[in-house]
Structure formats: structure tokens, C-alpha cells
């Protein structure tokens, strides 16, 4: 449709001719109220900002000489962070003579990365930062996917609880009917 025809149609309807997709070939325009268009665009942008998930860098610190139970606790904590869609910064704190054994630190961090590989992948290899050795592990799922999965899991659990309650109520009602009969 020609632009002048579209403008005339818009004026006849007391509306505006709004270019919706300027980059399209040919550009797409709609006959609508421009104020409404601006409002809806602002609402979409606001919703997108609200739903945008910010990935947070969580930190897990441990020493070179760490007991197996302590290591497992730190590993589980890191897995929780990765499941939630956050990055994990694994940091080994070196003290005294431990600083002369960076190879053991690299070995420990690689073992740690291998143990949490189900939930995340290494983003930066082990590097020495002063007295510390640092490695960053990123989640396999982004934050919004992890959040959606968690919400779906919670909704399923809630539905199961409601179904169980409904079954119990139905059983009680059946027992009462049997008693009355």
C-alpha cells in the first residue's frame, strides 16, 4: 500500500501511521494510536529488564590441605550455585611453604572442576593471584533457564501436595458416607 493512502486511512480513523519494523524489507507500518504504541513498547522493555537474570560470581574458598568432608561440603555448595545459574570462583588460599607448591593447587582445582563438571564448565584456568590461586567455573545453564526450571519443579511439588490433599479429603468423605449408610 502506498504511504499517502495509508496516511489518509489513518487520518480518517483518527489514528496514527506507526512504523513498527523499519529494518524489514519493505518496512512494516500499522494504523494505531501512537501513544498506545509507545506505552506498550515501554512495558515490553520494562518486562525484559525485570526478567533479565544477572549472573552473580559466587566464591568458594579452601586451603591446599583440605579434609575430604570439607572438600565435599565446598563441592556441594558450588554445585548449588551452578544449578542456580551463578558463576563460581574457586579460590585456594596458600600459606607459608604452600606457596612453593602451586602444582598441588592446580591439581586440586582441576579435580574440583572435574567434580562439578556435570553442572558447569571451566571459564578461566587456574591462575596465581598473589597468595591465592583462582579458577572461574561458569554454569551450563544460564540464570533464567535455571530459574524457570526451579519454578517448574516447585509448581510440580505444589500440584502433588494439592493432589494428595484432595485424595485424603475424598477418602474421608467416602468413609463418612459408609458410616452414614
Map out the domains of the chain with their CATH numbers. Answer: 3-51 (3.10.20.80), 57-139 (3.30.110.10)
Please tell me whether the overall predicted TM-score, pTM, comes out greater than 0.75 for this model: no
Instruction: Pick the most confident of 38-47, 137-146, 147-156.
Output: 38-47
Q: pLDDT of 60-85, one tens digit each?
A: 999 989 999 999 999 999 999 998 88
Of the pLDDT bands very low, low, confident and very high (cuts 50, 70, 90), residue 141 is: confident
pLDDT number for residue 144: 61
Mean pLDDT, rounded, of the chain: 86
Cα–Cα distance for residue pair 18/72, rounded to 1 Å = 59
Does residue 145 register a pLDDT over 90?
Answer: no
pLDDT number for residue 107: 92
Cα–Cα distance for residue pair 137/121, rounded to 1 Å = 5
pLDDT number for residue 146: 67
Q: pLDDT of 165-180, one tens digit each?
A: 888 888 877 887 787 7
Does residue 109 register a pLDDT over 80?
Answer: yes
Which of 125 and 50 is assigned the larger pLDDT? 125
pLDDT number for residue 167: 84
pLDDT number for residue 53: 64
Q: Are strands 120-129 and 28-32 parallel, antiparallel or unpaired?
A: unpaired
Which of 151 and 5 is assigned the larger pLDDT? 5
Amino acid at each position: 500500500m502506498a504511504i499517502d493512502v495509508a496516511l489518509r486511512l489513518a487520518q480518517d480513523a483518527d489514528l496514527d501511521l506507526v512504523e513498527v519494523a523499519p529494518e524489514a524489507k519493505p518496512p512494516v507500518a500499522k494504523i494505531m494510536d501512537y501513544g498506545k504504541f509507545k506505552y506498550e513498547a515501554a512495558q515490553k522493555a520494562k518486562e525484559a529488564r525485570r526478567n533479565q537474570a544477572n549472573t552473580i560470581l559466587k566464591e568458594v574458598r579452601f586451603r591446599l590441605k583440605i579434609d575430604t568432608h570439607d572438600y565435599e561440603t565446598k563441592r556441594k555448595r558450588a554445585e548449588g550455585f551452578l544449578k542456580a545459574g551463578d558463576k563460581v570462583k574457586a579460590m585456594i588460599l596458600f600459606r607459608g611453604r604452600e606457596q612453593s607448591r602451586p602444582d598441588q593447587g592446580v591439581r586440586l582445582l582441576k579435580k574440583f572442576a572435574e567434580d562439578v563438571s556435570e553442572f558447569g564448565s571451566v571459564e578461566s584456568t587456574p591462575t596465581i593471584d598473589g597468595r591465592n590461586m583462582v579458577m572461574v567455573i561458569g554454569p551450563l545453564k544460564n540464570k533464567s533457564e535455571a530459574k524457570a526450571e526451579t519454578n517448574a519443579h516447585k509448581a510440580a511439588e505444589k500440584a502433588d501436595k494439592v493432589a494428595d490433599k484432595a485424595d485424603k479429603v475424598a477418602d474421608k468423605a467416602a468413609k463418612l458416607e459408609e458410616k452414614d449408610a
